[in-house]
Amino acid sequence: MASPAEYLETLARKINDNPQRAGISSGKFQFVLSGEGGGTWTLDVANGKASVQEGPSGGANVTIEMSVADFQEMTAGRLGPVAAYMSGRLRIQGDLGLAMRLQPLLA
């Protein structure tokens, strides 16, 4: 299973390879993942180009909080983002509409 950092790099490549399909031209997403292998990463999309930095970033439009285990389950397609959110395993702060645009790219 990919580490959160590896997965987020893959997500950035998906956005960069096809920005029109991604439907996200700009936004800053901060991922705060708890548990073993956890940490904070920022996915920054500007003008259809995405990059990932380790560590918190000021001015995030969306902050996504969850455990590393749940993040890996979600990115493997075994835990739906909506189910995770409704059960409290996924917490989102900020622009919920922007966060929803990320959903199709997560699995």
Tokens representing residue 77 in the block: 């397609």
pLDDT band per the 50, 70, 90 thresholds, residue 105: confident
**What is the per-residue pLDDT for 48?**
85
**Domain annotation for the chain: domains and CATH numbers:** 4-101 (3.30.1050.10)
Category of 39 on φ-ψ map: left (φ > 0), alpha (ψ -120 to 50) or beta: left
pLDDT tens per residue, range 15-63: 898 877 778 889 999 999 999 999 999 999 998 899 999 999 889 999 9
What's the CA gap between 32 and 46, in Å, rounded? 21
The answer on pLDDT for 99 being more than 70 is yes
Kindly provide the b/e burial profile for residues 62-101, where b requires at least 16 CB atoms within 10 angstroms of the residue's own CB.
Answer: bbbbbbbbbbbbbbeeebbbeebbeeebbebebbeebbeb
DSSP string, 29-57: EEEEEESTT-EEEEEEEETTEEEEEES--
